[in-house]
Amino acid sequence: MKIVVLDGYTVNPGDLSWDALKALGECTIYDRTSPEQIIERAKEAEVLLTNKVVIDSEVMSKLPALKYIGVMATGYNIIDLKAAKERGIIVTNVPAYSTPSVGQMVFAHILNITQRVGHYSDEVSQGKWTNCPDFCYWDTPLIELLGKKIGLIRLGQTGYNTARIALGFGMKVWAYTSKSKLQLPPEIKKMELDQIFRECDIVSLHCPLTEDTREMVNARRLAMMKPSAILINTGRGQLINEQDLADALNSGKLYAAGVDVLSTEPPMADNPLLTAKNCFITPHIAWATSAARERLMAIMIGNIKAYSAGKPENNVA
């Protein structure tokens, strides 16, 4: 079995081992692959592994040996699933590997915005506390989470994990979800989407990118939010109209935003969120703890073994 990894660097920049994958067949691993390099590198591959390299119908048509595409991530919008089904190509993803890490990042952003630990550490290093006439020093609002309402947009595994963390802080948890009220624990209240935007102190996005969710956060919904509210996005950048969010932040109609994802990654230099007031951006790293990447690789290996045994797991096509 010939295995080709098109963009292995983000999953494993060198701190993990590829040995378990290499044991499954003849394996070639590329750190990065440009669109122009895909066909040449993958032309003999039976198994093709990709994290963010797009595999569309045209690419598939030029890879006659291809029988399996493994997405080294949970999201699989980089694959033309219709074309894969037509060609009998199995496509799998890696679900739920990053659930604990993403929930952790949600609250890293929330705590950064409400407590500003990094800001105050820098202020102390610059002598602001040393030269302060009082025993303590602060120059931003400090916000307690107890009793605050957090609204979770969708309640899959990551949403549930985030809810559990929020409950630990004594927050009131609301959710926009397809689950019925009877399927939810009593401490999570099912709410309509616009009600969450209108009434919650924090709104956190946990939904996949679809035509229905694309730019669901826009000028209309941002205008519903409290001026003191906080928006968190660890889902997909395209869930937000970035210019609308920047306008809301810069005008003071929204207090702050913490995002780990942008519509284009790496971002264009003119992305309005890069200079927006109270917008805190991390470079798509919620998924990237070493523990999460170890789980990703273990599930990925399991997927390939299941495919080899004729019983594919985690199929999306």
- Mind telling me the catalytic residues? 236, 265, 284
- Picking from 128, 116, 96, the residue whose alpha carbon sits closest to that of residue 302 is 96
- Backbone dihedral angles phi then psi of residue 21, each to the nearest 5 degrees: -75, -40
Do 174 and 200 form a contact (C-beta atoms < 8 A)? yes
Cβ contacts of residue 19 below 8 Å, gap of 6+?
none
List for the chain the helix, strand, coil content (%; round to 5). 35, 15, 50
The beta-strand segments (E) located in the chain are: 2-5, 26-29, 47-50, 68-71, 90-92, 149-153, 172-176, 188-190, 202-205, 230-233, 256-259, 279-281
3-state secondary structure of 236: coil
Burial class of residue 142 in the structure, from the number of CB atoms within 10 Å of its CB (0-12 exposed, 13-18 middle, 19+ buried): exposed
Q: Residue 60 is inside which H or E element, if any?
A: helix 57-61
3-state secondary structure of 252: coil
Kindly state the DSSP code that residue 240 receives in the 8-state scheme.
Answer: B
Do 68 and 46 form a contact (C-beta atoms < 8 A)? yes
